[in-house]
Structure formats: structure tokens, C-alpha cells
Chains A and B, each alone.
Chain A
Amino acid sequence: MTLLRVENVGQAHNEIEILKGINLSLERGEVFALIGPTGSGKTTLMKLIDLLTKPSLGQIYFDEVDVTDVESDRLAARRRMSLVQQKPIVFSMNVYDNVAIGLKWRGIARDLTKGKVEYVLDLVGMADYAHRDAKTLSGGETQRVALARALVVEPELLLLDEPTANLDPNSVSKIEEVIEHVIKKHKISVFMTTHDMVQGQRLSDTVGVLIAGEMLQMGTPEQIFSAPLNKEVAEFVGIDNILAGMIEKKDGELADVRVASGIISAISHYEVGDDVYALIRPEDITLSLAKDHGSARNLFSGKIFKITMLGSLVHIEVDCGFPLFVVATARSALDMGLVVDTQVFISFKATAIKVIKRWV
């Protein structure tokens, strides 16, 4: 059953379009993660969904009621959802009163409020802080109070705007733990924005990619991260190898894609002559010093031209007629004696390549 429906929503400010033609729906119990780069309009969309601002265009339905304009309907809907902001703010009162205030505004009796507040404070691990001045809390503690404040009203829709941004790892894990608990136990719908792809993948049923105010792709985490529909999404979800090319030959679904001076074998439904991008995740590429490609259809020799250390991993860039990024562990790179100018062999399977249309 659909809880939230956003239809053709646009938002403009000073004649600058911040959001364009956004359509999405959220079922009861569904977790939707909105990902996108900074400035893509995620928070603007979040505020529209939380009914804090009105859209320039389009309609928003909550539980099948149009809540785009009428203030009384908007307040009624707003009281069935709650938002945790990226940089939450607490009121100048103690932690207990901060958490209880939403219930007070809804006219909930004091004795009932007490039980609910104590339960959520315990849930977020802040039971011992009930009488502390909320203004004296650390960033992680403030975020947990904000989460408690949002959960205590038992929302049907929980909105989380980058809930773990700028927090220390301990606070991140505590907040994620609470969110996972709430999602599983209370089956509430969640709409969250995040820049943390792993978090988005792990917590959500559906992922939407918002870039420059447009929802470029929506789907399951698997679809988004393994089969992006276009170059922008591919780049954003961390597919480092995006090779522009053209289908040169086809044999059934197997296609030869000309990429610079090389030809890559890939699975594609596009036709000969079509301009495409071949997307290859670095972790799907095997790098070796000997010419052994096993079952992989694609084998290239090349020379390492750049090595970047990334903690326990190494980012290796190889020139094999076209540039390819490969990821290896620091340990294996050391064992193999990989340095700039080392001659290596690169192999990857045809099925590891996602071919998407390139509009020229």
C-alpha cells in the first residue's frame, strides 16, 4: 500500500531549477535511500517530503491525500512523519523535554509520554542523559537525541537526512543499529538521504540516484550499483572504468566493443554501430604478471603508469591502449613487486561489463 507519492515535483528558487520532474512512491514498510552528490537537491526533496516547503510544481500525496497545499492537511500529515536532520538542533531544555516535545504538541497525556520517552531514550542509549541540558551534548549524542525525538512520536514515515554524516564511527554504528532495529521491529517506512553508498545499499529496499536535481535512476541496490543506466550514475556509484566506444561486431548477445585501440568482448543488446559506454568495476578486473586469463574473454597487456596507496588497498592505473583502473591489496601489490612501468596482464569476463547507450 502506497504511503507516499511524489508526482512530477519541481522546485525552483530565484528562477534556478533545483529539482526537476521528480516522481517516486514509497510503500508502507519500504526503505528508500536517496543518493547523490552534494548540491544535487537531496535536502530540498527531503524538505518537500517533510512538508516544510511547498513545491513550485507537482503534487505530493500522503496516504492518498493531496498534501501539496492545504495547511491543515499538511499539519495532519506532518504529525504522522518525523525528520532527523543532517545537523540536528536541540532546544534549550533538558534531553527528556526535547524528546517529549513532539508528544506534547500532539496532546499526548503526561504519564503516557513518560513511558514512551523513557523507552526511546533507552533505545538510543541516552537513558542516563535524560536530565542533562541538551545544549551540552556532543555531536553524536545530539544526533541520538534527534533520532529519539523523531522515533518517540511513532511516525509512519521516518525521514533521515544524512543521519550519520560527520559522526565518529561509534556514533555511526549506534545510530545505524537503532535505525536497523526500528526498520525490522516497527516496519515503518523510511526515506533517507545518504552519501554513504554502503549504508544505502545495506539498509534500503530501493535506491534513487539524484544528480543535478533529476532522479536519474531508481531501483534495487543491486540494479543501481551493478547496472547503472547512464554514465552519471555509473560515475557516482563508483564505477571507475567508464570506456567510451562503439559496437563493432555482434554474435548473438556477445558484442565486440571498440574502445580506443582495443576491442572488448561484452554482453550487450545494442546493435552494431551504436555508441556505448563499457562499464567495468575495478574489483572485477584481474591483474597478473603472467599471460593467463583462465575463462575470461578479455585479456590485455599493459604498463602500469600510476599507483596510489589507499590504506590497505592500492589503486593501480594501467595503460593497455586505453586506461584501466584496477584495485589490489597492498600486500599482493608488494608481493608482485608492482611499480610504475611494470608490464602486466589484465583480464576480465565479458559478463563483468555493463554496456550502456552513449548519446552523442
Chain B
Amino acid sequence: MSEIWDGLVKAFQLICTFDTTVMSIAGKSLWISAASCLIATAICVPLGSVIHFNNFKGKRLLISTVQTLWSMPTVAVGLLVFLLVSHSGPLGILELIFKPGAIIFGQVILISPLILGLVISALNGVDKLIPETAVSLGASRLQKAILTIREARYAIVAALIMGFGRAISEVGLSIMVGGNIARYTRTIPTAIALETQRGNIELSIALGIILILIALVINISLHMLQRKRV
């Protein structure tokens, strides 16, 4: 019990003194996940709009498949990305393996189905009269789509936050394709896994607290967005 207590006290000290190791790992985690989230957003919002605004054969099957991919195991994505970006893989020429780029690439694959599915749901949730009214007011197809996305903005941002939450908390993928290299590809979850094995409990707890704080901020943001939607 005293080990946990001591660990907590030291963890708070590390956080309050802005310990360089803790801050470096937290900063790395945040920017890698933010980058993944931005890239996934840039892909999923237009792609989700195309899927939503067009009727084509297999649309329902496609959406079901996307939703199935929400629960993709991170290690499975890690394995796929490893095979793709390893030196002998088809994307080996990009030399991404054991670099932050590989983690970002993997996280984009991991969170894209989640963001894409939620973007489609968000657009579906917009009152059908909104696009119809836009068309009747003279909107082109693109203007109609932009307006509908705007109307669904809170739900879309909620989707992005969910994606960010999934990206920042995943561990298997980061270890497999990032290599958990100190000050380079070490993220909060991979650092917690490593430092716990090493017996650095206070560092693990400090990082765990930061991860929980991030989760809390994400949760509060989601609640605030949902209230705004109402």
C-alpha cells in the first residue's frame, strides 16, 4: 500500500516540477496523436460526406464494414503497418519503421474507421430538411455538403475527440512500429508499459495520471459538445 502511496506522491512531484522526461513523453504522445487525428480527419470528413451524399450499391455493407473495423485490435494494425513499412515491405522505401511517422501511419489506420463511421452518423443525424432547404436556396452540391457538415459540426468534433482518445491510449501499435525509443517514439502508454516492467512505478503513475487527465479533458469536452447540440 505504501508503495502505491509513495508512487503517487512522487508522481505528483514529477508533474508539478514539469519533469523533463515526463513532459517529453507526454508532449510526444500528444503531437503524434494530434497529427494522426488531423490526417484521419482530413481523410474521413470528405470521404464520409461522399458516402453520405451519394447512393450506390453496397453502401450499407460498406458502412457496416467500417463500423466492424472500430474494434480492430491495435496489435493487428501494428502487424499490418509493420509488414507495410518494414524495410522489405511495399512501403519500406519511405523508411518509416521505428519513427514517429510509422506510429502516425498506424494510428491513422486505427482511428479512421471510427472517425469515418461517426462522421457518417453525424451527417445522418442532420435534419433532412437542411440539405433540401439549401438546394432550394440555390446551393450547389458542394455548398450543400459544406452546410450539412457545418450543421453536424458538434457531432463531427465529438467523433474527432473519440478518435484522438483511441489514438493516445493505444499501446500495441506504437511499440510494434515505433520501437519505444526514448525521446523519439516513446509515448505515454508505451512508457507506462516499459517503466512498470523496470520498477519505475512513480514515473508510470505520473504518466498514468497525465493519461487519465487527458481522458478527463476529452470526456468533459464531449459532454460540453453534446450539451451544445441539445
| With contact pairs A92-B150, A92-B151 given, residues A105 and B129 touching in the complex (Cβ less than 8 Å) | no
Q: Are A153 and B150 closer than 8 Å at their CB atoms? A: no
Q: Are A52 and B130 closer than 8 Å at their CB atoms? A: no
* CB of A13 within 8 Å of the partner chain: no
Q: Are A52 and B135 closer than 8 Å at their CB atoms? A: yes
| With contact pairs A52-B132, A85-B129, A89-B129 given, residues A75 and B138 touching in the complex (Cβ less than 8 Å) | yes
Q: Are A153 and B137 closer than 8 Å at their CB atoms? A: yes
Q: How many residues of A contact B (CB 8 A)?
A: 20
Residues of B contacting A92 in the complex (Cβ-Cβ under 8 angstroms): 150-151
| With contact pairs A85-B129, A85-B133 given, residues A105 and B140 touching in the complex (Cβ less than 8 Å) | yes
* CB of A88 within 8 Å of the partner chain: yes
Q: How many residues of B contact A (CB 8 A)?
A: 15
| With contact pairs A89-B127, A89-B130, A105-B140 given, residues A78 and B147 touching in the complex (Cβ less than 8 Å) | no
Among A47-104, those with CB < 8 Å from B are 50, 52, 75, 78-79, 82-83, 85, 87-89, 91-92, 101-102
Q: Are A50 and B136 closer than 8 Å at their CB atoms? A: yes
* CB of B139 within 8 Å of the partner chain: yes
Proximity bits, A91-121, B CB within 8 Å = 1, else 0: 1100000000110011000000000000000
Q: Are A75 and B140 closer than 8 Å at their CB atoms? A: yes
* CB of B13 within 8 Å of the partner chain: no
* CB of A5 within 8 Å of the partner chain: no
Residues of B contacting A101 in the complex (Cβ-Cβ under 8 angstroms): 137, 147
Min CB distance A67 to B, Å, is 13
Residues of B contacting A105 in the complex (Cβ-Cβ under 8 angstroms): 137-140, 143
| With contact pairs A85-B129, A89-B129, A91-B130 given, residues A79 and B138 touching in the complex (Cβ less than 8 Å) | yes
Q: Are B151 and A91 closer than 8 Å at their CB atoms? A: yes
Q: Are A102 and B137 closer than 8 Å at their CB atoms? A: yes
* CB of A149 within 8 Å of the partner chain: yes
Among B103-161, those with CB < 8 Å from A are 127, 129-130, 132-133, 135-140, 143, 147, 150-151
Q: Are B138 and A102 closer than 8 Å at their CB atoms? A: yes
In the complex, A102 Cα to B144 Cα: how many Å? 11
In the complex, A255 Cα to B198 Cα: how many Å? 112
Q: Are A149 and B137 closer than 8 Å at their CB atoms? A: yes
Residues of B contacting A83 in the complex (Cβ-Cβ under 8 angstroms): 136-137
Residues of A contacting B143 in the complex (Cβ-Cβ under 8 angstroms): 105
Residues of A contacting B137 in the complex (Cβ-Cβ under 8 angstroms): 82-83, 101-102, 105, 149-150, 153
Q: Are A88 and B139 closer than 8 Å at their CB atoms? A: no
In the complex, A111 Cα to B133 Cα: how many Å? 25
Q: Are B136 and A52 closer than 8 Å at their CB atoms? A: yes
Q: Are B138 and A88 closer than 8 Å at their CB atoms? A: no
In the complex, A105 Cα to B147 Cα: how many Å? 11
CB-based nearest B residue for A83: B136
Residues of A contacting B151 in the complex (Cβ-Cβ under 8 angstroms): 91-92
Residues of A contacting B140 in the complex (Cβ-Cβ under 8 angstroms): 75, 105
In the complex, A87 Cα to B130 Cα: how many Å? 12
| With contact pairs A92-B150, A105-B143 given, residues A78 and B127 touching in the complex (Cβ less than 8 Å) | no
Q: Are B138 and A82 closer than 8 Å at their CB atoms? A: yes
Of the listed residues A79, A87, A88, A89, the one surrounded by the most CB atoms of chain B closer than 10 A to its CB is A89
In the complex, A60 Cα to B147 Cα: how many Å? 28
Q: Are A78 and B135 closer than 8 Å at their CB atoms? A: yes
Q: Are B129 and A78 closer than 8 Å at their CB atoms? A: no
| With contact pairs A52-B132, A85-B129 given, residues A91 and B138 touching in the complex (Cβ less than 8 Å) | no
CB-based nearest A residue for B127: A89
Q: Are A106 and B130 closer than 8 Å at their CB atoms? A: no
Residues of A contacting B130 in the complex (Cβ-Cβ under 8 angstroms): 89, 91
Residues of B contacting A50 in the complex (Cβ-Cβ under 8 angstroms): 136
CB-based nearest B residue for A104: B143
Of the listed residues A75, A88, A105, A106, the one surrounded by the most CB atoms of chain B closer than 10 A to its CB is A105
CB-based nearest B residue for A161: B136
Residues of A contacting B132 in the complex (Cβ-Cβ under 8 angstroms): 52
In the complex, A243 Cα to B46 Cα: how many Å? 64
Residues of A contacting B139 in the complex (Cβ-Cβ under 8 angstroms): 105
Min CB distance B122 to A, Å, is 13
Q: Are A82 and B147 closer than 8 Å at their CB atoms? A: no
Min CB distance A72 to B, Å, is 10
What are 24 A-B contacts defined by CB distance under 8 Å? A50-B136, A52-B132, A52-B135, A75-B140, A78-B135, A79-B138, A82-B136, A82-B137, A82-B138, A83-B136, A85-B129, A85-B133, A85-B136, A89-B130, A92-B150, A92-B151, A101-B137, A101-B147, A102-B137, A102-B138, A105-B140, A106-B138, A149-B137, A150-B137
> Which A-B residue pairs are the 8 nearest by beta carbons?
A79-B138, A83-B136, A89-B129, A102-B137, A105-B143, A105-B139, A105-B138, A50-B136
